[in-house]
Amino acid sequence: MEAFKPFESKGTPLEKQYRNWSEMVKPPYDKSSVDAYSRTRGILMNGVENNILSYLHDFARNTDDDVINGKLAELRRVEEQQQTTIDWSMPANQTVIETTLAFEQVATDLTANLAKNEPDPYVRQALDFALIEDFDHLFRYSALYEMLENGDPNSILQGKTEVKPGRPTGDEHRHPLDDLRRHYDRETADFKTKLNVWTITLGEQQTYLYYKTHGMMYPQDIARKLYAEIAEIEEEHVTQYEALGDPNETWLEKTLLLQAVEAYNYWSCLQTEPDPKLKVVWEEFYRYELEHIRIVGELLEKYEGRSAKDLIPESVEPLIVFEPNKEYVDQVVKDQINLRPYNKEFVDISELPADWLSHEYSRTVNTGGIPSEMVIEQRRKAA
């Protein structure tokens, strides 16, 4: 695998990045023969595009500069079209729960890969912490899939990610203040840390959005409640992960960083993708993002007197790789199942004070039954 070197090759000019409907909407993949990790790459990149689009809208709502707003509008149109191409690669016969299993496969194997390669121990701890929560979601949704659609989770996971308990979902409901974290320092943080933090934040944000826009589509009460329950934990994860980012980064600096996140992720996809049709898309979009980096770099130069090269290194390694992480996940479950966040640190359950805010919060939401427990119970009875 070749390192990510964003300044080495040329991007596609912006006016060549707008595409017609047929170029934008390509035939979907076949859900039973697609490689599980091709599917997860698509899910991740859809999340990256969709949530960077949101960020660029927020930026526009907070700036009165016509030059910046013009560039943001142009970038947004491209990001939006890229998102269509990626998300529309999913076939219509892939059910909501099947796609959900793939989302949790992303959460498990992406988070594990980022954690393994994360230079900052605190950020790594935050990744490990949420990793074994998403791993447990996969277990709960798998039970729902077996029960409602008589499906085999491995038709989606292909045996690459295991289906078994992590930190129990019912124990993951925390008071909002317990999801806050310390942030990295924009001046001293390793660039890989910045890439990791924003990649996972964007991915988790999309997971939240997917559950929140699809959980009501099932008529069964247990499905509706399980989606509501797990969606809220994804919101907790977004809160944790975004808190790791330095809020002192300027809007333009963050925009540049996010364009680098896109380019780095597309480059990682390109280097690891076995499907030739998807490879073409990753390569094309990689070249778009190189140009986005250049465009935002020019704005940064003009408004802040800094260049893209001041912020982005010549070469970044390692890349993001989707691959099985069974031993790693087992180990984290074994070592960290009893960790809980308190005062922005992670401590053993036994060290929590009696008035830990999340005790009261979890009692509030869990009174009256816990859907993630009920789904396992109902599935056991049905078997």
Question: Which residues sit at the interface with Fe ion, rule CB under 5 A?
Answer: 49, 79, 82, 107, 134, 204, 234, 237, 259, 262, 289, 292
- Comparing CB distances to Fe ion, the nearer of 84 and 378 is 84
> By C-alpha distance, which of 274, 202, 191, 201 is closest to 3?
191
Q: Smallest gap, in angstroms, from Cβ of residue 234 to Fe ion?
A: 5
The number of helices, as runs of H, and strands, as runs of E, in the chain is: 14, 2
Separation CA 27–CA 347 (nearest Å): 49
Q: Which is nearer to Fe ion, 118 or 234 (CB)?
A: 234
User: What is the nearest approach in angstroms of Fe ion to the Cβ of residue 81?
Assistant: 9
Q: Which two tokens stand for residue 108?
A: 């498990």
Looking at the Cβ atoms of 140 and 292, the one nearer to Fe ion is 292
Q: Which residues contact 93 (CB under 8 A, 6 or more apart)?
A: 31
Task: Assess contact for 315 and 3: CB atoms under 8 A.
Answer: yes
Nearer to Fe ion, 249 or 378 (CB): 249
Shortest gap between Cβ of 96 and Fe ion (angstroms)?
17
**Beta carbon nearer to Fe ion, 19 or 378:** 19
Q: Least CB distance from residue 134 to Fe ion, whole Å?
A: 4
- The backbone torsions φ and ψ at residue 338, rounded to the nearest 5 degrees and listed phi first, read -95, 10
- The minimum distance between CB 190 and Fe ion, in angstroms, equals 22
Residue 232, both tokens? 């809220």
**Residues in Cβ contact with 324 at an 8 Å cutoff, skipping those fewer than 6 apart:** 109, 160, 161
CA angle centred on 139, ends 274 and 124, rounded to 5°: 70
Nearer to Fe ion, 229 or 262 (CB): 262
Backbone φ and ψ of 43, nearest 5°: -65, -45
Q: Minimum distance between the CB of residue 55 and Fe ion, rounded to whole angstroms?
A: 10
Residues 6+ apart with CB under 8 A from 65: none
b vs e for 50-77, b when ≥16 Cβ sit within 10 Å of the residue's Cβ?
bbbbebbeebbeeeeeeebeebbebbbe
Closest approach of Fe ion to the CB of residue 131, in Å: 9
